[in-house]
């Protein structure tokens, strides 16, 4: 990879050095980030997608998304240059995301202090200012994100779940973009619960980074995903689930349909740290290739440093089963519709929750709904 | 006029990359209104016949003809055969999670209507009819929302096949061992469903291993299939004879 450089004159804002999670004593942020960019880990993370366009657009203008559900009691939203808290930052894991935070003049800070009844909705209309969401101990909310089309789009979200907080997160990403980057970092304190329903299509290029850290005892995390990658579109998902403390539970289930000429990369890593005894982690990625030239890279990884854990991971790449096709065609359904129905069924196995109906409609071409059943 | 005419049918399958003959010259003629039972030992080619009639890939017809209402089926895809009025009740219906039974039924009805240049039925009407049929077959109507055959018992899967038969109303029904794995009550329910389907303009090919089904669905003809040929034909009494003596005396 040719040399990658960040925008010049990057400095660490003072709010990022404050608090017990801040980056005090880190020294020159430029050199730290540059070292991370030059590392083998970074190259591995960006093996199938060239990161240069992303870095070149880090300083693009950023918009305030449209919010719903921020008028409830128990939630505050502020746009500020100096946030009230600093999320955990791990420059060595995602230097480009840390750089984005350093560069931002305005950040969106959302704090939730108790269980909310209405969902928090964020509609990204373009590249968004970085979002920092903190759920205080015992707080609960449903977060729904949707996206508008654009050229170079970037949205980065940092989530801090304090003790016992519960976040049910859904996002539907179906709009076209030339180069779309979605970065998501979730840090969980003890007994917190996080779920993500991640529904997406491919586009010219869509890159999703999801970094989940179970950093307290007894955390729960569940990731469910469905994606359709059409001809001439690309989806690159990079997921990292770290169990840093004991008794955590994580589950990942992703189903992808990749059409002729589509390209899908799925890389998910489960990392069980030495402290994380009693952890359970499962990961499954199933891919359905349609046509002759679907490109599917799937790489589930396990890295385990504790013996007292239960882990399972698997990935499959397959085609529609002949038996299923015959069952449907024998009932009069022509092959294209049978293919569409069966692909829809395959994706529906991973579609649930708040945005499910829109997701199911967007991801499948068959216009049959179940409204009356 | 003959509804189904099978003449000199020879069929190979590929076993270990070499063709293996399964049907070796089979003749069968079904007229409207008739029920033909086909009996035979395991492995004699009963399912092969059913699958070849419905156009399942993986078989090679090397000789002979299959006609429905006078038109050859051999070059038609499975969906085209269904659109012309053929229905196969599967010996082993597949489970398809993620597609609900209701979606599946509606898609079938819509496809059949479209191919026949008819208007697609309204969703509410389909749901109403499906519910009624489910009730009459002792299937909990909630099954309509569940995945196709997902988590169904063997008996539920067979009742679902009959439910589809009654909803799709084909001209010719081929039932492949719909009775196997059913207890007495379910056998009665399923038989009652098939009897409701019987009509003077419709035909049934009833493949079974056991005579007991034929006490409930009385056939007009009984054929014995062995080693890829029909070796004996008769009326319902032939089934009783088979029950008493087994197949050995014939082969
Ligand atoms: N897909 C297949 N591959 C190999 N052999 C098969 C296949 N399908 C059927 N056969 C063989 O063909 C013969 C007839 O099978 P089948 O038609 O299923 O018989 P029946 O339904 O009467 O029990 C059997 O010997 C069976 O083993
Ligand atoms: Mg059989």
**Closest Cα to residue A346, out of A312, A315, A320?**
A320
Q: What value does the mean pLDDT take over residues B39-65?
A: 96
Q: What is the mean pLDDT of residues B97-105?
A: 95
Is A332 at the interface with chain B, CB within 8 A? yes
pLDDT averaged over 10-residue windows placed end to end, chain A, 373 residues: 71 79 72 90 93 93 97 97 87 91 93 98 97 98 98 97 98 97 98 98 97 98 97 97 98 96 96 97 96 92 95 94 97 94 94 95 59 31
> Long-range contact list for A6-12, CB < 8 A, 24+ apart?
A6/A30, A6/A33, A6/A34, A6/A37, A6/A55, A6/A58, A6/A95, A6/A99, A7/A58, A7/A59, A7/A99, A7/A103, A10/A99, A10/A102, A10/A103, A11/A102, A12/A102
CB-CB neighbours of A298 under 10 Å: 19
What is the pTM for the complete model shown?
0.90
Give B49 Cα–ligand 1 centroid separation in angstroms.
10
The pLDDT of residue A6 is 78
- C-alpha to C-alpha distance for B202 and B7, rounded to whole angstroms: 20
* Closest residue, chain B, to A347 (C-alpha): B98
**Residue B249 clears pLDDT 70, i.e. is over it:** yes
The predicted structure's pLDDT at residue A94: 92
Give A373's contacts in chain B (Cβ within 8 Å): 100, 102, 127, 144-145
pLDDT for the residue numbered B141: 87
Domain residue limits, chain A: 14-321
Proximal ligand: closest to the CA of B46 = 1
Q: In chain B, what percentage of residues exceed pLDDT 90?
A: 87
Tell me the sheet residues that pair with A120. Answer: A143
Question: What CA–CA distance (Å, rounded) separates B161 from B189?
Answer: 12
pLDDT, residue B150, reads: 95
Token pair of A91 as six digits:
């420059």
Interval between CA A116 and ligand 2 midpoint (Å): 58
Q: For residue A163, which of A193, A190, A142 has the smallest C-alpha distance?
A: A190
Tell me, what DSSP letter sits at residue A129? P
Q: Closest Cα of chain A to B54: distance in Å?
A: 7
Buried b (16+ CB within 10 A) or exposed e, B177-189: bbbbebeeebbeb
Q: What is the CA radius of gyration of chain A?
A: 21
Query: How high is the pLDDT of residue A370?
Result: 32
Token pair of B195, please? 């009897």
Cβ distance of A334 and B127 shorter than 8 Å: no
Please report where in the chains the tokens 């599917």 appear, as a residue.
A296
What is the C-alpha to C-alpha distance for residues B23 and B48, in angstroms, rounded to an integer? 8
Tell me if B46 CB under 6 Å of ligand 1: yes
Q: Closest residue (by CA) to atom 27 of ligand 1?
A: B43
Is A92 exposed, middle or buried (CB count within 10 Å of its CB: 0-12, 13-18, 19+)?
middle
Q: How far apart are CA A361 and CA A348, in angstroms?
A: 10
Residue B228 Cβ inside 6 Å of ligand 1? The answer reads: no
B214 and A CB contact within 8 Å: no
pLDDT in tens, B190-230: 999 999 999 999 999 999 988 889 999 999 999 999 989 99
CA distance A113 to A270: 30
Ligand nearest to the CA of B41: 1
- Give the residue from B103, B131, B143, B171 with the most A CB atoms within 10 Å of its CB, the best one to mutate: B103
The pLDDT of residue A20 is 67
- The three-state secondary structure class of B235 is coil
Q: What is the CATH number of domain B4-97+170-245?
A: 3.40.50.300
Main-chain dihedrals φ then ψ at residue B139, nearest 5 degrees: -105, 130
Total beta-carbon pairs less than 8 A apart between chain A and chain B: 96
* Chain position carrying tokens 């440093």: A305
Measured in angstroms, the CA of A369 and the nearest CA of chain B are apart by 8
Locate the domains of chain B by residue range. Answer: 4-97+170-245
In whole angstroms, give the CA distance from residue A185 to residue A89.
9
Helices (H) and strands (E) in chain B, counts: 8, 12
Q: For chain B, what percent of residues have pLDDT higher than 70? A: 100
- Given a contact cutoff of 8 angstroms between Cβ atoms, the answer to whether B10 and B63 are in contact is yes
b/e per residue A216-253 (b: at least 16 CB within 10 A): bbbbbbebbbbbbbbeebbbbbbbbbbbbbbbbbbbbb
**Nearest-CA neighbor of A306 among A284, A266, A333, A279?**
A279
Distance from CA of B55 to the nearest CA of A (A): 8
Cβ A185 vs Cβ A158: under 8 Å: yes
Cβ pair B82:A332 closer than 8 A: yes
- Among chain A residues, the shortest Cα distance to B170 is held by A331
Nearest ligand for residue B177 CA: 2
When scoring B13, B79, B130 by the number of chain A Cβ atoms within 10 A, the one with the most, hence best to mutate, is B79
Check CB contact under 8 Å for A321 and B98: no
The Cα B206–Cα B210 span in angstroms is: 11
Contact of A367 with chain B, judged by CB distance below 8 Å, is answered with no
CA A159 to chain centre: 12
How far apart are alpha carbons A87 and B181 in whole angstroms? Answer: 60
Among A252, A262, A263, A255, residue whose Cα is nearest residue A288 = A255
Pairing outcome for strands A280-289 and B86-89: unpaired
Residue A12 confidence (pLDDT):
82
The pLDDT assigned to A366 comes to 43
Are B183 and B154 contacting, i.e. CB atoms less than 8 angstroms apart? Answer: no
pLDDT digit string, tens, across residues B150-205: 999 999 999 999 999 999 999 999 999 999 889 999 999 999 999 999 999 999 99
Please give the pLDDT value at position A368: 35
Measured in residues, chain B has a length of 251
């Amino acid at each position: 990879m040719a040399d990658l450089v960040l925008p010049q004159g990057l400095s660490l804002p003072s709010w990022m050095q404050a608090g017990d999670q801040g980056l005090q004593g880190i020294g020159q942020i430029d050199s730290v980030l540059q070292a991370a960019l030059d590392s083998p880990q970074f190259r591995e993370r960006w093996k199938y997608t060239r990161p240069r366009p992303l870095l070149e657009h880090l300083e693009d203008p950023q918009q305030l998304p449209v919010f719903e559900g921020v008028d409830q009691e128990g939630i505050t939203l502020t746009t500020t240059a100096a946030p009230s808290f600093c999320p955990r930052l791990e420059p060595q894991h995602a230097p480009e995301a840390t750089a984005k935070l350093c560069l931002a003049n305005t950040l969106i800070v959302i704090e939730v202090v108790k269980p909310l009844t209405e969902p928090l909705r964020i509609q990204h209309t373009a590249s968004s200012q970085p979002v920092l969401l903190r759920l205080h101990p015992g707080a609960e909310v449903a977060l729904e994100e949707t996206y508008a089309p654009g050229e170079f789009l970037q949205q980065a979200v940092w989530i801090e779940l304090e003790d016992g907080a519960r976040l049910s997160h859904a996002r539907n990403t179906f709009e076209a973009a030339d180069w779309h980057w979605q970065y998501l970092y979730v840090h969980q304190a003890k007994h917190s619960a996080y779920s993500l329903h991640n529904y997406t299509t491919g586009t010219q290029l869509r890159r999703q980074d999801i970094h989940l850290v179970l950093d307290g005892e007894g955390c729960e995390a569940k990731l469910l995903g469905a994606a359709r990658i059409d001809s001439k579109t690309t989806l690159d998902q990079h997921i990292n689930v770290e169990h840093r403390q004991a008794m955590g539970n994580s589950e990942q289930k992703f189903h992808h349909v990749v059409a002729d000429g589509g390209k899908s990369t799925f890389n998910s890593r489960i990392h069980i740290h030495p402290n994380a005894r009693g952890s359970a982690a499962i990961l499954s990625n199933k891919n359905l290739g349609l046509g002759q030239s679907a490109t599917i890279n799937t790489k589930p990884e396990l890295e385990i440093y504790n013996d007292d854990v239960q882990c399972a991971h698997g990935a499959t790449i397959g085609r529609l089963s002949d038996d299923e096709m015959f069952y449907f065609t024998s009932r009069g359904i022509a092959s294209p519709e049978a293919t569409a129905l069966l692909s829809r069924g395959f994706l529906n196995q991973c579609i649930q929750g708040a945005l499910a109906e829109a997701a199911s409609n967007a991801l499948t071409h068959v216009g049959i709904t179940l409204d009356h059943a | 006029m003959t509804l189904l005419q099978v003449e000199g049918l020879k069929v190979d399958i590929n076993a270990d990359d070499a063709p293996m003959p399964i049907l070796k010259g089979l003749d069968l003629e079904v007229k409207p209104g008739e029920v033909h039972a086909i009996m035979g030992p395991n492995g004699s080619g009963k399912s092969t016949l059913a699958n070849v009639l419905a156009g399942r890939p993986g078989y090679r017809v090397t000789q002979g003809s299959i006609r429905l209402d006078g038109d050859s089926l051999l070059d038609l895809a499975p969906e085209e055969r269904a659109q012309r009025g053929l229905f196969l009740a599967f010996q082993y219906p597949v489970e398809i999670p993620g597609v609900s039974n209701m979606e599946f039924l509606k898609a079938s009805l819509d496809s059949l209507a479209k191919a026949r240049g008819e208007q697609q039925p309204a969703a509410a009407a389909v749901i109403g009819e499906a519910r009624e049929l489910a009730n009459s077959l002792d299937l909990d109507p909630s099954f309509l929302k569940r995945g196709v055959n997902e988590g169904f018992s063997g008996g539920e899967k067979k009742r679902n096949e009959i439910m589809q038969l009654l909803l799709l109303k084909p001209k010719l029904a081929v039932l492949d061992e719909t009775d196997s794995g059913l207890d007495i009550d379910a056998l009665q329910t399923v038989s009652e469903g098939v009897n409701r389907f019987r009509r003077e303009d419709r035909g049934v090919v009833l493949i079974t291993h056991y005579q007991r089904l034929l006490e409930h669905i009385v056939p007009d003809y009984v054929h014995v299939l062995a080693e890829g040929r029909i070796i004996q034909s008769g009326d319902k009494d032939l089934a009783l004879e088979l029950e008493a003596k087994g197949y050995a005396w014939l082969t």
